Amino acid sequence: MISVSGKRDYKGQVIFLYEDDSSYIPDEVLEARNISSTLEGKLYSVTNIYISNKFYVIVGLGGYRDLDMKKLKSVVAKSVKQMKKAGIEEYGMDITPFIQRFDSQCLFHLVEGIKLGNYEFYGYKTDKKEYDYTVFLQGIHKDINQVKEIIHKAENIVDGIIIARDLVNAPANRLTPELLSQEVILLGDKAGFEVEILKEDELEELNMKAFLTVGSSSGNSPRLIVMRYKGDSTSDKVAGLVGKGVTCDTGGYCLKASNTMGGIKGDMAGGAAVIGAIYGLAMNKVKTNVVGIIPACENRISRESYIPGDVIDSMSGKTIEIINTDAEGRLILADAITYGIKVEGIDKVIDIATLTSAVVAALGFTTTGVLTNNTEFYDKLIKASEKSGEQFWRFPIYDEYRDMLKSDIADIKNMGKDYLGTVTAGLFIGSFAEKLPWIHMDIAGTAWVNPPIFQYQSEGATGAPVTSLYFLFGMGDE
Ligand code: BES
Ligand code: ZN
Ligand code: ZN
């Protein structure tokens, strides 16, 4: 829990120390500085020290002018991890240096640092003991009620990240398409958005053949999860957020090698990000209309599974030649986008997917790959990313790239030949977006980290890109 309190005496105390400004540091800590040369305020340096029976965690911030929001989020996460390690459940945190530097603008990243630094996937151990903490923020002197409101909204957004992380970390047998649907229904009840779950017979009626083809590879049948959040009654426009919901991806008949199967439960991270973002928007009653569409299914081997060489139909009417059954994400996303256009009347679309290993080769684990047909829409994403601190990079689209998906026997094929795997995968999906403004996010690198790269991450799911999606629609003063 995060509390805004003037009370000053706790068993634990977090202090942040600039290299070049210590005017706000309490005397007892300054005295300790004389005896400990590590207390110089170097960025990310940590000193844990008892001073008159109180446990101090002192974290360096580097130079006053060099501090930015990303560093702030990391130092805060680092500090709370120290308290957690020491088993201290109640402690003060003096945020004067952040307020001095950034005023209330620092609060979102502060909340993120605290909650994500403390995040842990507790899993299914029978003897789990959850750590229950309260951080008392000190150093807020004005507009306490306004600060509380900002913190409350920030907590809702970060809860969206945590929801996404928990879903992605859950293994395939504990999160089948049906179980995922049930989780979304519960979240809809809590946050106030409408949820509709479409089962196989309804998907048949809609002719969602590409989605059904992948889904029929498993006894755990597919579900189309539709989340409707209508926060702006003055507008009839609605944006579509389409997230890949493959609850496990074995590759199907084009089976993955066993040593690459580690992360297959995380192949619904795009869907999880959509769920987390819409949760935050609904909790904060943001004035916008979005519909989340998540085709949830498994990609396995069964008697019914599709095989390379097959030609399948799609809801759009286009026929698709299957080159590789492991390129399943684009098939289900194609139908989900068509559903968004034909049934929900979306006026723009963002699709989010753990789609290609090629994007990891290109951009690594900290940057999401983007394709888009609309620069204005992309600029809005970049603005949102400046608030979220997440990184995106746009891939080029040239006419000759489109030729790579031409099939001899169908309208399109589901895989290009060599290279450009991220671009061809994105272009496949984009060809189903018709003329709508479209952004494609390939989060295969950013959804999952092992080992963690930043202090506010823990091994496994990251919750990317929940906050960027949130800020794309909720650019208020959260
Ligand atoms: N879900 C995978 C992509 C992936 C790879 C996500 C690694 C996370 C980490 C996707 O369905 C897939 O298998 N893609 C293939 C496509 C290829 C067969 C055209 C890939 O990228 O290898
Ligand atoms: Zn695959
Ligand atoms: Zn996949």
Taking the model in full, what pTM does it have?
A: 0.97
Q: How far is the CA of 328 from the centre of ligand 2 (A)?
A: 5
Q: What is the pLDDT of residue 7?
A: 73
- If you take atom 21 of ligand 1, which residue's CA is the nearest one? 356
Active site residue 330: yes
Q: Point out the ligand 1 atom lying closest to the alpha carbon of residue 415.
A: 19
Amino acid identity at 259: N
CB of 329 within 6 A of ligand 1: the answer is yes
All structural domains of the chain:
2-138 (3.40.220.10), 157-474 (3.40.630.10)
Q: What is the pLDDT of residue 478?
A: 37
Instruction: Check: CB of residue 125 under 8 Å from CB of residue 48.
Output: no
Residues with CB under 5 A from ligand 2 (ion): 249, 326, 328
Spatial strand order in the sheet of 2-4: 2-4, 134-138, 90-94, 12-18, 54-62, 46-51
User: Residue ranges of the chain with pLDDT lower than 50?
Assistant: 477-478
Which of the residues 256, 287, 318, 402 is marked catalytic? 256
Reported residue count of the chain is 478
CB of 214 within 6 A of ligand 1: the answer is no
Q: What is the pLDDT of residue 344?
A: 98
Which of 168, 244, 352, 355 best tests ligand 1's pocket when mutated (most atoms within 8 Å of CB)? 355
Q: How far is the CA of 226 from the centre of ligand 2 (A)?
A: 23
Q: Point out the ligand 1 atom lying closest to the alpha carbon of residue 329.
A: 11
Report which bound ligand comes closest to the CA of 421: 1
Determine the Cα–Cα distance for residues 472 and 380; give it in Å rounded to an integer: 7
Q: Point out the ligand 1 atom lying closest to the alpha carbon of residue 416.
A: 19
Q: What is the pLDDT of residue 441?
A: 99
Report which bound ligand comes closest to the CA of 252: 2
- If you take atom 17 of ligand 1, which residue's CA is the nearest one? 327
CB of 321 within 6 A of ligand 1: the answer is no
CB of 5 within 6 A of ligand 1: the answer is no
Q: Is 442 annotated as a binding residue?
A: no
Active site residue 33: no
Q: Is 326 annotated as a binding residue?
A: yes
